[in-house]
A and B are shown apart, each in its own frame.
Chain A
Amino acid sequence: MELILIIISTIFVNNVVFAQFLGICPFLGVSSRVSTSMGMSAAVIFVITISSMVAYMLQYYVLVPLGIEYMQTIVFILVIAALVQMVEIVLKKVSPVLYQALGIFLPLITTNCAVLGVAILLIQKQYSLLESVVFAFGTAVSFALALVIFAGIRERLEIEDVPRAFRGTPIALVTAGILAMAFMGFSGLV
């Protein structure tokens, strides 16, 4: 029950993009085509879920026993950067098809603040390992949901006659604002 609650609240109520403002840069950057946004989403789900497990282990089996919790930021970001590299190498060897699909998005993920954000949040929320993984997966899915919906809207916006000053990012932000309002409707769910 607890786990279902975590999933629903992370995906809809506290959507990572529309309510927590994490991962905005890739959200605005790769959301102009539905197909690329799907690729990015898959890569993010993959990396966030794995990195959350690693972050949990590091925090409770390395940092806390050594009493150096204040090194959290440095350790997490290094591990995420290394992890992304490793995922890239392993993927290349194991599944060239998947690598073809996700490859170009992987380097972009290191600077996706949602990855580090999730790692820090799950420690802050004092989740157990299982809860952490569920929370991370939910967050990644919520990112994917936001990205794919948004890409669909932007594909249509492109053929509309948008006033010049609004073209590009401003209209995207205003659209995101309206979408965020729609997502606020979910707050009654939990």
Chain B
Amino acid sequence: MKNTLLNMILVLGGISTIASAGVGYVYRITEEPIAAAVEANKTAALGDVLPDFDAIVPLESTLDGIPVTVHTATAGGSVVGYAVETATTMGFSGEFRLMVGFAPDGKVLAVKVLQHAETPGLGSKMVDAGNPLIASFEGRNPSDMRMAVRKDGGEVDALTAATITSRAYVDAIARAFAAMLEARGSALNSPFGEALGGGENVVLEAREGASENLTNDAKQTDNE
């Protein structure tokens, strides 16, 4: 086709429109499967980091502007563990999200990476089973640990050549631990605390009640 200005504008405009429409269409189709994949990933992670449970109650909150969700798992009415969906923005490639499983006494049961964009072959090793980071945390209570990588005087073994990722990992777990402690405390004080693990309706109420409680607690500490 001839190189007239009109032709060029028409063709480029036409191609851009069709391309955008095509991408938009695929986005609409894949929107649901992507959400489902994220959800499936989360459910699988919950199963991986917790012992067997028959009911689970999520409690959403934010720490320093980063959303953290504490899932309290119960079996037969008693708490068997906490799974905390936590995140950090200190990663080498920005945000990554972890699922951290805690025993009722605060020991770390397991850690699972939900989503990350760390360098393949370096930071991405935090996903592998038995890597130094997981090995440093598993079976230990963060309150008994110096929570930093060895280079910074802590007792966490960093990944080779991925200090930034390792620091961020520690940050995410510290955040998870703080959120877990807070949730454990507020659940005990909450009037709905004993209802944890009950029916679906009760669960919803407990969830609202608990998060309200959390914000009240936060306000109180501010006033103090």
Contacts and interface: CB of A to CB of B under 8 A. Distances in A.
The answer on direct contact between A and B (beta carbons under 8 Å) is yes
A37 B20 CA distance: 37
A126 B161 CA distance: 23
Contact of B23 (A70, A121, A124, A126): A70
B150 to A, nearest CB: 12
Given A124-B94, A126-B94, A184-B161, A74 B119 contact: no
A178 B163 CA distance: 22
Contact of A187 (B19, B94, B161): B161
Give chain A's interface residue range (CB within 8 Å of chain B). Answer: 10 to 19
B161 A124 contact: no
A6 B199 CA distance: 50
A74 B20 contact: yes
Contacts of B117: 124
Contacts of B189: none
Q: How many of chain B's residues touch chain A, expressed as a range?
A: 10 to 19
Give the secondary structure class of B's interface. mixed
B89 A126 contact: yes
Contact of B93 (A9, A78, A125, A190): A125
Contacts of B27: 70
B94 A125 contact: yes
Contacts of A74: 19-20, 23
B90 to A, nearest CB: 10
Interface in A171-190: 184, 187, 190
A126 B163 contact: no
Nearest to B30: A70
Contact of B164 (A68, A121, A190): A190
